[in-house]
Chains A and B, each alone.
Chain A
Amino acid sequence: MDEQRLRESFARVAAYGDDVPLFFYSHLFLGHPELRGMFPVSMAGQRDRLLNALGRISADVSNHDALVPFLRGLGRDHRKFGTLAEHYPAVGASLLATLAHFNGTAWNEDVARDWTEAYTVIAQVMTEAAGEDEKQNPPWWGATVIGRERRTMDVAVLRVAPDLPLSYVPGQSVAVECEARPRQWRFYSMANAPRRDGTIDFHVRVIDGGAVSSALARSVGVGARLRLGPPVGTLRLDMSSRRGVVLAAGSTGLAPLKAIIEQAAGLGDPPRTHLVFGVRTAADLYDLVALEKMAAQWQWLTVTPAVSDEPEYRGETGTVADVIGRRVPLSDQDAYICGSSAMVAATANRLKSLGMPQSHIYVEDFGWSDS
């Protein structure tokens, strides 16, 4: 396999942008109409993901240490979409046809052989990882909604009971799909440490125009069925650290941090922990009652609500970054930040400018923007 030639041929194709995955999926569905049902109605986001994945594979084709874990993750993750080993040849054929089409006259037997070899390896790594995962985990976890509490106009708390035990580390999240929005998966963090009864809480914030969040917060009722993907995410409590803990939560970014607090409570010697819970108005402090109860029960925990858009609020006003800078001693601390992209970036920057080393800052970006 000539890796340079492979990269060059991909660069030629990638120049056509969205037309490439568009052609690929149409080609795939024409040959295998039965696969169409595995995808959502709108394919726009799907096409972006395919092009990104192909770009990454092509860029890392010589860097096996980076490529193999990426492909293994991709293989495991595709199980929740219902992908089976027998789907891979069809995908490979359409991929080759697409690459040939966009390469035009530059396509020849050598390039075709490069890509055939590359795809064979890709498919092999992905199916192997999926096969290993199959021995331990279901493709997805079916779950039933057993509680739904509308806390504010925009935030609901769902409690779900998975059919099979779902083990995870506090701070992680899972992709969630509901029947009202088939084939659309969105990530939500578990908002509690694993419980004996296996139930899980999700904090769902309605995003304007968001198809899944609005369905989860408004139309999914008790008894509704959900599908949960495998737990992912790197935000987790550093157990080896002896430092104190600062938790910075923006809105429902609170969820994974609350799970971490519950986890700390189970430790013999919980770290001194200070949670700053940032919202726009006091009405958005959707989980303050529970947090204050925790702070009253556990001496090592301090909870400070921060309200940014309501000057007359009687507590701390300003952004999470403002309030941390004002109220929280930062020497010898680890910080865990979760919220909107803007909030995470602003808070991390503030902490760094206040002298906290980068290596003490752990972040989880929820990907949504403040509106």
Chain B
Amino acid sequence: MSRAAVGSVVASFAVFIVAWKLVVLVSGYPVFILPSPELVGARFVKAWTDGTIEPHALATLVEIGLGFALGAISGLLVGYALARSRRVERIISPYVVAAQATPILALAPLLSLWFGPGLLSKVVICSLIVFFPIAISSMVGVRSVDQGLLELARSLRATRRQVLTTLEIPGALPSIFGGLRVGVTLAVVGAIVGEWAGADRGLGVLVNLARGSLFDIPLMFATLATIALIGIALYSIVVFAERRLVGVR
């Protein structure tokens, strides 16, 4: 990242903090309604150094990792099938769309009942929320591969595998990565929703504890900041991978 880019990121963050502070000063909200940025910052540092946040963050990261992997793999496979077969698309796309349209917040408690309160239900909830954008972006990406190149490959008697690895995957990658960018941030949401449906550990649990039992609103904000940082970090990893595999766009 260039110095100018780093500078603009730092500047925009500074503007955000100043705006937050001004809102606190002008509104007069008490700490337990809207804490100031310096209070949240101090609580953030304390919560990490005294071990409050770490175990919860690790639990959430495991859920995100496994959920994203499951959702992405299934999304890629289903997306490819949807792209390659109109018949498959006619049969399964209504169910894919219905799964996306059904609020995950309504499904999460049921999934927690079916799969238990442990890691599995969180991974399933997370993967469900990740699946749709990756499936659709994969389908769109594969269909966007130049038909002329595909016909050329067929005329040269390229095998199915050769068509897949030399044309379809490289051609679909930009679109797939678009879906992965969306999916990885939704994976964070899915993990938190899964924890709200029943868990004894995780950043979603910590948000509820801070807000509802401890009334420690600065801790709640510090936890939300941690969730946001995880989302930003994971998104950056996907962008980095995209630039390595696809190039800068």
Partners in one complex: no
B contact residues vs A (CB 8 Å cutoff): none
Chain A residues engaging chain B, CB cutoff 8 angstroms: none
